[in-house]
Structure 1
Amino acid sequence: MTTPQAQQRELIWITGASQGIGKSLALAWVQEGHTVVISARNQQALEAVREQADIKYQSALSGNDNAVTGRIVVLPCDITDQTQVRQSVQQLLVSEGLPDRIILNAGTHKPFPAHQFSAETLQQLVQVNLIGAGFILEEVLPLYLKTRPLPVEQAVQTTGPDTTRIAPDTRTIKGQIALVASVAGYRGLPTASAYGATKAAMINMAESLRAELCHTELDIRLINPGFVQTPLTDKNDFAMPFLISAEQAANDIIKGLNSKRFEIVFPTRMAMVMSLLKWLPDRLFFPLINRSTGQASVIPDEATPQHSGKETP
């Protein structure tokens, strides 16, 4: 992990920061001396993260007079509410400024078997995992891509003994936006038809933005975690290979974002397995993944459609 002395202090905004990877990222970055803005719907949980950061700082101070810490800023926001997202971005700009990094980490997971497919759950996951990120991107992308004046020594070029011209203003504002997807977006997995679909869409969106903006100063990144111990993975009822802690995930993410890699995928062994599955022929992939996850399709006789509204006659 990069020390605070090795890099300048940054302003970092993390969504979905009340628990799991987002929370661990916030605590790690604040210990490096950065100002970290944390967002989620639950303000009480966000305040608890700030209190935990304060406790860690006081503990560090007791044994080290040179301890460095940053600052946690609580910014409650429901990313599925576009009006609230717009207001939160404006509040952030006024109080702190435009972030050096934005981590679009908010997401949720609701697994269900095929015989209980729920369009309502699919809609909920799309709204949180995909559209919420879109609401934020709509607000912040124009801010980063807005051109700014070049330095005078670069802007003025002599074209003759008595004339000058101003160079075209093509520089955008530096920044980094990371979209958190999942290795579950590589290929379809049992009980993840809704969740995996949203993560596949996030991967595609990150790749598309990167392709279009690769020549600007806005740095688009993609984060694809494997199995990480969080309240979301606690919902899984199957064995999760290569499971790592949220703290280790945060370390891997920070290391990756400080490198030049577009995709940050971890843990390494999980990344290798999923990369292999991504290119495995369909005739081998589907039977293999069905057996290995213990999801052999035995549809119960009592299986019925899961409707959210009233039954029609």
Structure 2
Amino acid sequence: MDSSIVWITGASSGIGAALARRMARAGWTVAASARGAEALEALAAEPTAGRILAFPLDVTDLAACRATVARIEGEVGPVATAVLAAGLHTPVEARRFDAAAVRELVEINLMGVVHAVDAVLPGLIERRAGRLAIVSSVAGYRGLPTSAGYGATKAGLINFAESLKFDLDHLGIVTQVVCPGFVRTPLTDRNPFPMPFLMEVDEAAERLYRGLQGNAFEITFPRRFALILKLLGLLPDPLYFALMHRMTGK
């Protein structure tokens, strides 16, 4: 088994693309997937110390996920590490509530990961080795303003990863959940509100890469912001909501 093959979804931009570059420089062979074929090809054409190979994919398509993993393992080799980072953010507000927008978030952020896991997990289990890293968010810790759709999917991913870990621990597979705070990406560039502890994408990719070298279940950055949100999450409900109203103006 070649332990240096990594499959990254959501690799056409943001943390996924930055991680692909970082792991390629470290000598990994990177199978990069995303919907944007042109962006993937541009990424694969960049000069790196390792290889980045483009495998265009829409993660909402289960059959396509299975076919893509089969193609990667047939053409490149067994996937040793899967980093599932495909995701979308759309603000959801009660006064302009749109079920279709929430459904799209669920299909991409949550079911997209489920489909990718369905595709890659049988090989990891058969080999009784490997690493499964699911990219969630600190927005999954507790409800945040305008995050009814996004936060729900990210909370679901945390629970999903926690539940899988019970089985995968006995099968030689490392399970990890990645919970970033605010990272400068094309998605966060559209946010109309202040973003505390905003981190540059290359620094975020470096933190994620370091986390993949260990076996800690949660990889989070920036740590101070994650710790603040976790402490806020421990507050009694009345205090939590009053404080968040005051802090966010919502």
TM-score by length of 2: 0.96
| Rounded Cα–Cα distance in structure 2 between residues aligned with 1:121 and 1:207 | 26
| Rounded Cα–Cα distance in structure 2 between residues aligned with 1:17 and 1:268 | 24
Partner residue in 2 for 1:44: 38
Q: Are the aligned partners of 2:138 and 2:180 in contact in 1 as well (CA < 8 Å)?
A: yes
Q: Are the aligned partners of 2:62 and 2:115 in contact in 1 as well (CA < 8 Å)?
A: yes
- Alignment partner for residue 213 of structure 1, among 168, 192, 196? 168
Partner residue in 1 for 2:52: 72
Partner residue in 1 for 2:9: 15
Q: Are the aligned partners of 1:111 and 1:236 in contact in 2 as well (CA < 8 Å)?
A: no
Q: Which has the higher helix share?
A: 2
- 1:190 lines up with 2:145 in the alignment: yes
Q: Offset of 1:256 from its aligned partner?
A: 1.1
- Alignment partner for residue 21 of structure 2, among 27, 30, 49? 27
RMSD (Å), alpha carbons: 1.2
- Alignment partner for residue 241 of structure 1, among 196, 201, 217? 196
2:29 corresponds to which letter in structure 1? T
* 1:11-70 superposed Cα distances (whole Å, 9 cap, x missing partner): 011000000000000011111111011100111011111223x1xx4xxxxxxxxxxx11
Partner residue in 1 for 2:217: 262
- 1:201 lines up with 2:169 in the alignment: no
Q: Offset of 1:212 from its aligned partner?
A: 2.2
Partner residue in 2 for 1:230: 185
3-state SS of paired residue (1:277): helix
Q: Are the aligned partners of 1:9 and 1:35 in contact in 2 as well (CA < 8 Å)?
A: no
TM-score by length of 1: 0.77
- Alignment partner for residue 75 of structure 2, among 95, 101, 104? 95
2:72 corresponds to which letter in structure 1? L
Q: Are the aligned partners of 1:176 and 1:220 in contact in 2 as well (CA < 8 Å)?
A: yes
1:244 corresponds to which letter in structure 2? M
3-state SS of paired residue (1:191): coil
Partner residue in 2 for 1:126: 106
- 1:174 lines up with 2:163 in the alignment: no
3-state SS of paired residue (1:229): coil
Q: Are the aligned partners of 1:112 and 1:191 in contact in 2 as well (CA < 8 Å)?
A: yes
- 1:109 lines up with 2:89 in the alignment: yes
| Rounded Cα–Cα distance in structure 1 between residues aligned with 2:247 and 2:190 | 18
| Rounded Cα–Cα distance in structure 2 between residues aligned with 1:143 and 1:258 | 21
Partner residue in 1 for 2:231: 276
Q: Are the aligned partners of 1:16 and 1:22 in contact in 2 as well (CA < 8 Å)?
A: yes
| Rounded Cα–Cα distance in structure 2 between residues aligned with 1:290 and 1:48 | 43
| Rounded Cα–Cα distance in structure 1 between residues aligned with 2:78 and 2:205 | 23
Counterparts of 1:133-144 in structure 2, within 5 Å, are 133-144=113-124
Q: Are the aligned partners of 2:182 and 2:198 in contact in 1 as well (CA < 8 Å)?
A: yes
Q: Are the aligned partners of 1:9 and 1:33 in contact in 2 as well (CA < 8 Å)?
A: no
Paired residue total: 249
* 1:224-244 superposed Cα distances (whole Å, 9 cap, x missing partner): 000000111122111000000
| Rounded Cα–Cα distance in structure 2 between residues aligned with 1:140 and 1:272 | 32
Q: Are the aligned partners of 2:31 and 2:55 in contact in 1 as well (CA < 8 Å)?
A: yes
Q: Offset of 1:250 from its aligned partner?
A: 0.6
| Rounded Cα–Cα distance in structure 2 between residues aligned with 1:138 and 1:32 | 28
Q: Offset of 1:175 from its aligned partner?
A: 0.3
- Alignment partner for residue 85 of structure 1, among 52, 57, 65? 65
**Unaligned 5+ runs, structure 2:** none
1:292 corresponds to which letter in structure 2? M
Q: Are the aligned partners of 2:176 and 2:215 in contact in 1 as well (CA < 8 Å)?
A: no
